[in-house]
């Protein structure tokens, strides 16, 4: 370990990080680096996130030593891209010499930045360090960096300067995992370096030291973490790291992968105090976006690989990529589109061509993406919608027409706002004259130019009076889908100008059906509730449905005696389902007073079973929330209440059951494959909100 590394790590461990220099650069459009305290108000949070929310489109760059083999190892096509060390099981001693081959003579940071800028991208996220541990800047804390290569230049520094010159915001990806750093744990099975002297907390201090370097030298606007799923990185580590980097730079934005709360590839942060400013769906677009107020960003490859692989030519067509951008913006998210440069520092020509074509469209239509927010419509059969607020209190809708309807009109379903006097027009040719807009009940209908072919995406603009009010299915509010004696229903809609009609027998409501707007409705038997909105006597929006069941509570059991705690057993094996360890002999056993994984026998490939009784404090309906990585299943009596089985990353599922006051047979099965291990069980019930099950409710 270099002397400078040892000294800085000692300082970090004993005294914390030093503040950044006062004269460090920060783009003029971003918040001041000292303006936002760590404990920020909602307004301060919005100010910190404002530039990122307005950007909508960014470039992801995966680049490092893995570009040299390009998916080949020892003459064989192995795949693996940036994961090649792990996927091919290469010993670090055999991988790290790639450093002496790294000489990207064609690296041109200004060319990279101009490709992104001309594509309409507002920010760049580049891998400062991926999982292999190689650093794209000259770090004082390691020799495994760009300074030790034949190339020798500061890649991040040159890219930062090019970004500054062109108004592109620089952001940095930084891996929590590090397969070559001697203190990082756990080791790969084929990595036979002695682990006796490894110190994971020393590794964490090393990572903090490198992040201090990155912030001080390059002032990244986003720190994009990854690799948080291995068991050595804990929720407490994530909290501390988020607080650390926000203390160094209060204005920096940090993704949710700094912590352990990401729910798989979907990227949403689960509840429970997990840190992170935005969610990170990977290679997918949420079907309906994220809940209101949740910031998110889909990251996606153009082909199949993040890092460069010479044989990967399965590039998505330009139309698909552009429509993904529009789809994401219409759901209130950002699109981080990846390029993997080759070993010489060149973007693949296929990537360049697609970004140029997207740029041609963005040059004309960028105002329908940048600075917009999510659509007011759940579904449009002809395309997508984005929108922005206007200074006069009205709203502007950008209507992205993917497919021309046969009738040469598009319909905006259920929108009660009237258009402003000008009407609609084509964004590409605003001076060509207005398009006719007519009211048809609760819908607005826009007539398209005769013979219009939308191509990739033709954008229409429609200004409406006031914020958009769109009537869709009404809300059916009920506490739980099962009840003992009675349930109370409430119906609500987005506007008082519509009537809500409902039925309880599963038939579609008509104008003459029962009125759902007169107050709470009590039901005492099982029912299939259907509700719909009506405007001026005509149905509008879709039909809402809720199935409610009257049930008998599960009877409690009588025991002669009971003692505190649950019995637990552990089982060893590479399991993929809960059933895989049903008949496996226990490795260890004991008693637990809470449901956790403190008894786990090893980091990976194990299972835990909890058995005993759950004491319901009173008769009523209980909801159980089971959050696990990997699979789990909860049974009460003979009823499977929550089935969260299978290999997956952190995933939360819930279920409900009616219980009689008293003791109920309880069984919770859990297994861990590889990566992060996590098991959280909570419940809610009569007169109490969702919370961990208290020790006094667990018996044996």
Question: pLDDT at position 15, please?
Answer: 35
Sign of the dihedral through C-alpha 378, 383, 384, 388: negative
pTM score, whole prediction: 0.88
Asked if residue 226 has pLDDT above 70, the reply is yes
Point out the least confidently predicted range of 119-128, 165-174, 441-450.
441-450
Contact at 8 Å (CB) between 649 and 229? yes
Distance CA 527, CA 550 (A): 8
pLDDT, average across residues 31-54: 79
Confidence of residue 291 (pLDDT cuts 50, 70, 90): confident
pLDDT in tens, 451-482: 787 789 999 999 999 999 999 999 999 999 99
**3-state secondary structure string, 406-437?**
CCCEEEECCECCCEEEEEEEECCCHHHCCECE
Contact at 8 Å (CB) between 275 and 297? no
Question: pLDDT at position 627, please?
Answer: 92
Confidence of residue 33 (pLDDT cuts 50, 70, 90): very low
Task: Please give the mean pLDDT across all residues of the chain.
Answer: 92
Asked if residue 56 has pLDDT above 90, the reply is yes
Contact at 8 Å (CB) between 558 and 488? no
Helix orientation angle between 349-365 and 109-118, rounded to the nearest 10 degrees: 40
Question: pLDDT at position 37, please?
Answer: 55
Asked if residue 11 has pLDDT above 90, the reply is no
Distance CA 155, CA 124 (A): 14
**In this structure, how many other beta carbons lie within 10 angstroms of the beta carbon of residue 59?**
26
Domains of the chain by start residue, with CATH: 3-13+42-368 (3.20.20.80), 383-464 (2.60.40.1180), 475-550 (2.60.40), 566-699 (2.60.120.1560)
Question: pLDDT at position 20, please?
Answer: 34
Confidence of residue 176 (pLDDT cuts 50, 70, 90): very high
pLDDT, average across residues 374-389: 95
Residue spans of beta strands (DSSP E) within 350-472: 383-389, 395-401, 409-412, 419-426, 437-440, 443-447, 458-464
pLDDT, average across residues 295-323: 97
> Phi/psi zone of residue 393: left (φ > 0), alpha (ψ -120 to 50 degrees), beta?
left
Asked if residue 379 has pLDDT above 60, the reply is yes
pLDDT in tens, 400-419: 999 878 788 999 999 999 99
pLDDT, average across residues 116-126: 98
Tell me which residue has tokens 């409902």: 502
pLDDT, average across residues 74-99: 97
Distance CA 385, CA 457 (A): 11
Asked if residue 375 has pLDDT above 50, the reply is yes
pLDDT, average across residues 408-434: 91
Confidence of residue 563 (pLDDT cuts 50, 70, 90): very high
């Amino acid at each position: 370990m270099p002397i400078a590394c040892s000294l800085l790590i000692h300082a970090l461990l004993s005294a914390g990080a030093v503040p950044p220099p006062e004269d460090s650069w920060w783009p003029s459009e971003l918040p001041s680096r000292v303006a936002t305290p760590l404990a920020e108000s909602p307004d301060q949070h919005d100010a910190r996130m404002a530039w990122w929310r307005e950007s909508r489109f960014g470039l992801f760059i995966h680049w490092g030593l893995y570009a040299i083999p390009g998916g080949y190892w020892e003459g064989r096509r192995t795949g693996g891209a940036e994961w090649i060390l792990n996927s091919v099981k290469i010993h670090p001693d055999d991988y790290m010499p790639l450093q002496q081959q790294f000489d990207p003579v064609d690296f041109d940071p200004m060319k990279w930045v101009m490709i992104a800028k001309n594509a309409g991208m507002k920010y760049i996220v580049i891998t400062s360090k991926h999982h292999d541990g190689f650093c794209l800047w000259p770090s004082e804390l390691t020799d495994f960096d760009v300074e030790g290569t034949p190339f020798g230049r500061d890649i991040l520094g040159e890219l930062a300067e090019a970004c500054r010159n062109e108004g592109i915001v620089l952001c940095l990806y930084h891996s929590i995992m590090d397969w070559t750093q001697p203190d990082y744990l756990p080791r790969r099975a084929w990595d036979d370096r002695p682990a006796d002297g490894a110190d994971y907390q020393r590794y964490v201090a090393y990572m903090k030291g490198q992040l201090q370097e990155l912030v001080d030298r390059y002032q990244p606007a986003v720190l994009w973490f990854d690799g948080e799923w291995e068991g050595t990185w804990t929720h407490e580590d994530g909290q501390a790291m988020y607080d650390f980097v926000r203390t160094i730079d209060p204005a920096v934005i940090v993704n949710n992968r700094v912590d352990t709360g990401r729910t798989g590839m979907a990227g949403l942060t689960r509840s429970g105090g997990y840190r992170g400013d935005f969610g990170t769906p990977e290679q997918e677009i949420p079907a309906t976006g994220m809940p209101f107020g949740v910031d998110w960003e889909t990251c996606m490859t153009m082909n199949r690989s993040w890092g460069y692989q010479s044989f990967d030519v399965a590039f998505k067509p330009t139309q698909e990529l552009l429509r993904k951008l529009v789809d994401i913006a219409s759901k209130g998210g950002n699109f981080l589109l990846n390029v993997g440069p080759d070993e010489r520092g060149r973007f693949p020509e296929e990537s360049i061509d697609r970004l140029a074509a997207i740029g041609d469209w963005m040059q004309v239509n960028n105002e329908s993406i940048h600075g917009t927010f999510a659509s007011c419509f759940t579904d449009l059969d002809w395309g997508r919608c984005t929108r922005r607020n206007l200074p006069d209190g009205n709203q502007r809708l950008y209507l992205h027409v993917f497919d021309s309807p046969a009738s040469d009109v598009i319909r905006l379903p259920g929108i009660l706002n009237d258009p402003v006097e000008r009407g609609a027009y084509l964004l590409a040719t605003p001076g060509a004259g207005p398009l006719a807009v007519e009211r048809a009940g609760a819908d607005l209908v826009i007539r398209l130019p005769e013979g219009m072919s939308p191509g990739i995406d033709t954008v229409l603009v429609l200004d409406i009076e006031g914020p958009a009010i769109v009537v869709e299915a009404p809300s059916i509010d009920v506490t739980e889908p099962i009840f003992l004696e009675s349930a109370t229903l409430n119906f609500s809609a987005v506007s008082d100008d519509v009537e809500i009609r409902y039925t309880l027998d599963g038939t579609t409501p008509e104008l003459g059906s029962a009125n759902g707007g007169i107050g709470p409705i009590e039901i005492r038997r099982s029912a299939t509730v259907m509700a719909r909105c009506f405007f001026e006597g005509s149905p509008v929006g879709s039909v809402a449905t809720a199935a409610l069941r009257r049930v008998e509570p599960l009877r409690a059991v009588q025991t002669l005696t009971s003692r505190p705690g649950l019995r637990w057993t552990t089982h060893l094996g590479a399991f993929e389902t809960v059933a895989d360890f049903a008949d496996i002999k226990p490795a260890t056993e004991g008693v637990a007073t809470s449901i956790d994984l403190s008894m786990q026998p090893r980091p990976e490939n194990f299972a835990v079973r909890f058995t005993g009784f759950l004491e319901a404090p009173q008769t009523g309906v209980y909801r159980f929330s089971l959050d696990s990585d990997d699979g789990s299943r909860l049974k009460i009596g003979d009823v499977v209440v929550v089935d969260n089985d299978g290999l997956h990353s952190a995933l939360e599922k819930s279920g409900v059951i009616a219980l009689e006051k008293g003791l109920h047979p309880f069984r919770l099965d859990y297994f861990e494959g590889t990566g992060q291990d996590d098991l959280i069980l909570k419940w809610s019930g009569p007169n109490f909100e969702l919370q961990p099950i208290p020790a006094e409710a667990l018996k044996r």
